[in-house]
Amino acid sequence: MIKSLDNEECQMMIGPLEEDDFRENGIKVPGIDKPMSLLDASWNIGTLIRWLDYNDCFLAEEWGHPSDNLGGIIATALHLEKSGHRMTVRDVLGYMVKAHEIQGVLSLSNSLNRNGFDHVFLVKLATAAVTTKMMGGGREEIKNVLANVFIDAGPLRIYRHSPNVTTRKSWAAGDATARGVHLSLLNRKMSEGYLNVLEDADWGFNNVVMNGKDITVTQEMNSYVINNILFKAGFPAEFHAQTAAEAAMALHGKYGDRLADIETIKVKTHESAIRIIAHKDKLDNPSDRDHSLEYIIAVSLLNGDLKTEYYYDEYHQGFPVIDDLLGKMDVTESKDYSREYLERDKRSIANSVQLIFKDGTESEEIEVKYPVGHKFRRDEVRPILGAKFKDNLKDFFSGEKIEDLLGLFEDRETLEKMKISEFWNNFLDD
């Protein structure tokens, strides 16, 4: 979230939606010196969390980033605290688990993307349900707000795919979580239900949006999603490409000085990656590049690491070798990878990369099935997350303050009892 403040385009999007619409008793957000309304704060927090594509991820039939819901959840918690409700960090974490579970379990068996709709619909839905609960809503109120979310449906995925990729993919989640709060507030004024919002033969969600396929819930909601969440730990890249980047970095270590000798770069991947981030004709902007399997492999081969700066126009234009490498990619689907991607006890995100040289020799095939942030690599990821935390804050806070914050996270009992406003104030201007 804090690191997003480095990005000039993000800076253009944050702040109140109406110019100078600040609120004396509103909610403060990092990078903005005056407090804002609940809806503006939801939008801003959600946008900052999502902008760099560096927050957590959950992949299934649908995919998404459940921590996107924190925009609405944190803003609502701060708003409620100002209204006299006690709201602790533990309370917020509990609501976060609920939002993760709602969004993630629905992702297991319902593919919006196959019908052209974007996954942030599930952010709006989860945020609306949880913030309605936070505002005192009961079972009927939550059912009614969910019905209104289904009536709203969701945005088309067009802005995530060439030739229409824009920064909307960086602010869409902030928009979705704020819309969820907006529906919660409307529902508080007059809670009305639509019992057949899913099943109506003419106007229901299942027929209109899902092309006749029912929305399903395949397991009881508990804590499965939070326990299987993917941490975006080492580098910013669309998650279907994370293991490909890791494989390419490994090859860089041995063959980084032979890039000009490469004839073909053989890539095996899973079906979701083929459909969403592979085979792009044009890479016109950073939003295109950080969602291109081939581009991510190319810059990882070139550098042996992956940074946000590698997606910028200036970087791409400054290294013609990137386009040369892109032209050598041969990307195919592995049926085994596609199957294991959906298996409940594996949830792999596998890729393999192999270099074929002009003289007929070949590199070893580097296969990585589980990214560093996967549950199977939790021990490995902890120190990386600590380093990521420090790196993302170093341009904004003093080293002493960063160490104090790390110490706070290590004291679980104190942290969980802390008022959410006290915790949040740590991340405002130093």
- What's the pLDDT at 360? 95
d(CA 374, CA 368): 12
Task: Tell me, rounded to whole angstroms, the distance of Cα 308 from its chain centroid.
Answer: 15
d(CA 427, CA 430): 8
- What's the pLDDT at 200? 96
- CATH 3.30.1330.120 placement within the chain: 239-371
Amino acid occupying residue 217: V
d(CA 31, CA 15): 9
Task: Label residue 237 by pLDDT band (50, 70, 90).
Answer: confident
Which range among 98-112, 161-175, 220-234 has the greatest average pLDDT?
A: 98-112
Looking at the domain 2-227, which fold is it?
2-methylcitrate dehydratase PrpD (1.10.4100)
d(CA 1, CA 167): 16
Q: Quick check: 125 pLDDT over 70?
A: yes
Task: Label residue 430 by pLDDT band (50, 70, 90).
Answer: low
**Least confident range of 79-93, 109-123, 130-144, 228-242:** 228-242
pTM of the predicted protein model: 0.87
DSSP alpha helix (H) spans, 51-88: 70-82
Amino acid occupying residue 232: K
Chosen CATH of 239-371 out of 3.30.1330.120, 3.40.30.10, 3.75.10.10, 2.20.25.90: 3.30.1330.120
Amino acid occupying residue 247: A
- CATH 1.10.4100.10 placement within the chain: 2-227
Task: Label residue 250 by pLDDT band (50, 70, 90).
Answer: very high
Say which DSSP state 279 is in.
S
